[in-house]
């Protein structure tokens, strides 16, 4: 693997960084939403 | 069409997606992992140098954004013609992901533009039509959120999405026409050397699988939320 | 008089009375044309260069001002229910409203445009192209706008969301319209651009009554 990107690294790393943050962000948002909804429903069904 | 309606039933969708979701999630992780590994081992392009690495995240984001709009369009058609509630949920669920992918396409495109063209933003046909696509996603989501009655909101948003689908090719054509008129710089040549093709295709597949997985999870979440709401209304009554 | 023309005449009368939307749209259009030179400077060559685009954007925004009321007023006071019950199909109702909106804004803006082109130092040939392009293109603004207006007619603050919905859809009209003026400035043939603009307009006017009627129907609870 080659991580030495030369002079263009200043553009490439931020692009990968932003993409990673955004994709991980929407994944976390979806997973958290799912766990919350499941917990809320389980609580209601217990009653 | 019958097979489609069977899975359009929320209960069946929950069962189906319960099986599918782990598969697509693992496949997403595999594709993104392998794609990144291959991407960082290819030799730098003789013309573009290491910026070819941006290709592997820019193009997949664009493809995933288009897939998301396509998904919304199909759901809108299903919801208007057959009035199926699951397609209402599905259309709305796809929009935020589509907007994020479109924004990523724009940001990575701008960061690609700086070393290639010397400026972050170029009014290149591709970037311009993606900027307009971002506004289409925003309009769709805003309309959904603005109308309180869910059934009406769903149908209004569906009409808007279908009008958008008719218009997208026209927008693309007009933006292409416009960029030749103003002699904008053309995007780097369309030919891609075969060494770059494999990581690019795998990353594309990874992005699309990620979209499909998140989309299914979001639909499942909304179904649960609605179930909870009905339970609450029933116990309140 | 047939119900179509009754409705058309009524809507035009409402728009044309003093303080009506036609006057507001024309004033807004003229104000944009006044403010832009104040913003970018008085260089006449620069103004001629950007004039076509600025006037096109100004015309689209001016036509948008009164759009949110296209169905909303009639929806709130209940007359839309009565209109929907009349023998006139909703598609034709939408077409009549669209036509009234175009005559009171788009057509009026088109007539005013040569005067504003003067302020931007546009040469006569480019002024003529601007006039023709607005004549051909503003019907699309009213048509696409009617779809947006019908989708937001039940919203109290529909006027805020309306531009977000329809402006991206109208980008081809701005591109072809202002492009035709640019071509004329460069002494090139603008017929192709005007043809594309006319095709876009025709498509919009043909399709939008159906989309607008469908969304009016869903808002009336049908």
Query: Of the candidates C182, C207, C215, which has its C-beta nearest B156's C-beta?
Result: C215
- Give the mean model confidence (pLDDT) for residues C145-169: 90
Query: If you measure CA to CA, which chain B residue comes closest to C214?
Result: B159
Q: How many residues does chain A have?
A: 47
| Side-chain-facing half-sphere of C197: CA atoms under 13 Å | 29
The answer to whether residue B6 scores a pLDDT higher than 70 is: no
Query: Of the candidates B142, B170, B177, which has its C-beta nearest C164's C-beta?
Result: B142
Please report the ipTM that was assigned to this predicted complex: 0.91
Each residue of C168-208: pLDDT tens digit? 999 999 999 999 999 999 999 999 999 999 999 999 999 99
Residues of B in contact with A31 (CB under 8 A): 217
CA distance C91 to C96: 9
Query: Of the candidates B135, B143, B167, which has its C-beta nearest C151's C-beta?
Result: B143
Residue span of the structural domain in which C51 resides: 3-219
Query: Of the candidates A16, A27, A40, which has its C-beta nearest B214's C-beta?
Result: A27
- Using the CB atoms, write b or e for B35-57: b if 16+ within 10 Å: bbebbbebebbeebbbbbbbbbb
CA distance C69 to C24: 13
- Phi and psi, residue B44, nearest 5°: -65, 145
Q: How many residues does chain C have?
A: 222
Distance set, CA A34 to CA B24, B191, B229, B235, C64 (Å) = 17, 42, 15, 23, 41
CA distance A18 to B110: 12
Asked if C169 reaches chain B (Cβ–Cβ under 8 Å), the answer is yes
* Best residue in C190, C216, C218, C220 for a mutation probing chain B (most B CBs within 10 Å): C218
Q: Do C215 and B163 touch (CB under 8 A)?
A: no
Interface of B with C in 71-130 (CB under 8 A): 80
Asked which of B7-16, B159-168, C31-40, C180-189 is least confident by mean pLDDT, the reply is B7-16
Sequence-distant (6+) residues with CB within 8 A of B186 are B124
Residues of B in contact with C155 (CB under 8 A): 146-147
Q: How many residues does chain B have?
A: 237
Q: Please state the pTM of the whole predicted model.
A: 0.90
Q: What is the total count of domains within chain C?
A: 1
Asked if B65 and B98 count as a contact pair (C-beta separation under 8 A), the reply is yes
Asked if B112 and B130 count as a contact pair (C-beta separation under 8 A), the reply is no
Closest CA to B203 of B70, B77, B83, B56: B56
The percentage of residues in chain A with a pLDDT greater than 90, rounded to a whole number, is: 60
- Is C touching A (3+ C-beta pairs, cut-off 8 A)? no
Q: What is the pLDDT of residue B187?
A: 46
């Amino acid at each position: 693997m080659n991580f030495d990107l030369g002079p263009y690294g200043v553009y490439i790393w931020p692009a990968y960084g932003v993409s990673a943050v955004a994709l991980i962000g929407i994944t976390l948002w979806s997973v958290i939403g799912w766990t919350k909804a499941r917990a809320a429903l389980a609580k209601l069904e217990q009653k | 069409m019958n097979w489609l309606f069977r899975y359009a039933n929320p209960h069946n969708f929950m069962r189906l997606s319960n099986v599918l979701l782990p598969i697509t999630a693992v496949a997403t992780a595999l594709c993104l992992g392998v794609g990144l590994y291959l991407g960082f081992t290819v030799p730098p392009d003789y013309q573009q140098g290491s910026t070819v690495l941006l290709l592997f995240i820019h193009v997949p984001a664009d493809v995933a954004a288009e897939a998301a709009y396509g998904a919304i369009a199909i759901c809108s058609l299903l919801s208007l013609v057959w009035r199926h509630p699951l397609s209402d949920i599905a259309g709305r669920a796809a929009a935020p992901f589509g907007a994020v992918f479109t924004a990523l396409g724009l940001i990575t495109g701008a960061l690609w533009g700086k070393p290639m063209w010397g400026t972050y933003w170029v009014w290149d046909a591709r970037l311009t039509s993606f900027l307009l696509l971002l506004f289409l996603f925003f309009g769709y989501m805003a309309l959904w959120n603005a109308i309180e009655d869910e059934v009406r909101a769903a149908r209004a948003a569906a009409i808007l999405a279908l009008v958008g689908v008719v218009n997208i090719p026209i927008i693309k054509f007009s933006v292409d026409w416009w960029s030749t008129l103003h002699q904008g710089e053309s995007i780097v040549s369309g030919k891609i050397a075969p060494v770059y093709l494999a990581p690019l295709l795998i990353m594309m597949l990874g992005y699309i699988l990620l979209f499909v997985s998140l989309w299914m999870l979001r639909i499942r979440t909304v179904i649960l939320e609605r179930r909870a709401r009905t339970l609450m209304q029933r116990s309140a009554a | 008089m047939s119900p179509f023309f009754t409705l058309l005449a009524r809507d035009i009368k409402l728009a044309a009375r003093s303080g009506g939307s036609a006057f507001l749209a024309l004033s807004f259009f003229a104000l944009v044309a006044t403010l832009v030179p104040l913003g970018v400077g008085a260089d006449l060559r620069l103004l001629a260069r950007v004039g076509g685009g600025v006037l096109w954007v100004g015309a689209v925004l001016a036509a948008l001002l009164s759009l949110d009321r296209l169905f909303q007023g009639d929806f709130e006071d209940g007359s839309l229910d009565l209109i929907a019950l009349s023998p006139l199909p909703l598609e034709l109702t939408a077409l009549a409203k669209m036509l009234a909106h175009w005559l009171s804004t788009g057509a009026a803006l088109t007539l005013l445009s040569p005067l504003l082109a003067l302020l931007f130092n546009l040469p006569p040939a480019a002024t003529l192209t601007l006039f023709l392009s607005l004549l051909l293109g503003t019907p699309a603004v009213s048509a696409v706008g009617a779809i947006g207006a019908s989708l937001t007619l039940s919203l109290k603050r529909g006027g805020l969301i309306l531009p977000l919905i329809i402006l991206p859809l109208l980008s081809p009209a701005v591109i072809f319209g202002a492009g035709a003026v640019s071509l004329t400035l460069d002494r090139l043939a603008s017929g192709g651009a005007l043809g594309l603009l006319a095709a876009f307009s025709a498509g919009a006017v043909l399709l939008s009554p159906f989309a607008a009627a469908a969304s009016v129907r869903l808002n009336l609870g049908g």
